[in-house]
Amino acid sequence: MGENKKNTRDKIIAYATKCFNQEGFGAITIQELANRLEMSRGNLTYYFKTKDDLLEAIVNEMWTRLDEELNKRRTLPSFENLHNTAKVYYRIQKEYSFIFLDQHVLKHELVKGKFREQTKKSIHDNKAALAFAIKLGNLKPEPVPGMYNNIAFITWMMPFYWLNQQIIRGEKTEEDAEKMIWSILLPHFTEKGVSSFIKFFGKEYYESLGESFSVDLDSLISF
């Protein structure tokens, strides 16, 4: 593909991604995209014959970027990798939000298989991180059978669905998901693990995982 054709193709992908993020994948037709790009429909369909072809290109771009970032972090199973992986998911979700928010897109044949494969990898990596932490003496042995498998699952699920809950609750935050994960894990850390955690993240971060739990029982009952 010539340089000009590649630039045009990349421009279409970038603009379509922006429009789908703002309005939803199902809300915009190929003709509307062509109009907004000031192209003829025929010119646009030269690059992408159908909207599914365009979706496939966007999804492939997203997976390439996600795999590149995550593969950097699979060299060593560690809590530092968990921290970095959460940041990668935040960034990817913002840039391709329509893929994560639209159930029809998530169920699309071009998307669902790859997501299932990626989910298995992520949960496997989380289990490896927990096992590695136990081996290092940073994490206590599993107190109840099934607990660490559940935590490995939650550690995948929370960042993956973080954008959805932000929209439902009307709140936008950057690091709460990660802090919630640490709040689940930290009670299972050994003294050595807590010390290592503080050394990596800092005492201020360790002491700011969220608001202190304080509830007015009367108001809770009335609610």
The residues that bridge with 95 in the sheet, in sequence order, are none
Can you give the pLDDT at residue 187?
Answer: 95
pLDDT category at 129 given cuts 50, 70, 90 is confident
Q: Which residues contact 125 (CB under 8 A, 6 or more apart)?
A: 70, 73, 74, 77, 81, 85
pLDDT at 3 over 70: no
Can you give the pLDDT at residue 188?
Answer: 96
CA separation, residue 130 to residues 70, 71, 135, 158, 177 (Å): 17, 18, 9, 17, 18
Going by C-alpha positions, the residue among 169, 158, 26 that lies closest to residue 103 is 26
Q: Which of 20-34, 72-86, 100-114 has the lowest mean pLDDT?
A: 72-86
Q: What percent of the chain has pLDDT over 90?
A: 48
- Look at 36 and 88; give whichever has higher pLDDT: 36
Q: Across residues 168-172, what is the average pLDDT?
A: 77
pLDDT at 1 over 70: no
Q: Which of 43-57, 121-135, 140-154 has the lowest mean pLDDT?
A: 121-135
Q: Across residues 59-70, what is the average pLDDT?
A: 87
pLDDT at 222 over 90: no
Rg (CA), the chain: 21
**DSSP states of 3-20 as a string?**
HHHHHHHHHHHHHHHHHH
Q: What is the pTM of this model?
A: 0.80
Can you give the pLDDT at residue 36?
Answer: 95
Can you give the pLDDT at residue 177?
Answer: 81
Q: CA 168, 173, 177 angle in degrees (round to 5)?
A: 85
Q: Which residues contact 98 (CB under 8 A, 6 or more apart)?
A: 17, 20, 21, 24, 25, 105
10 Å Cβ neighbour count for 90?
18
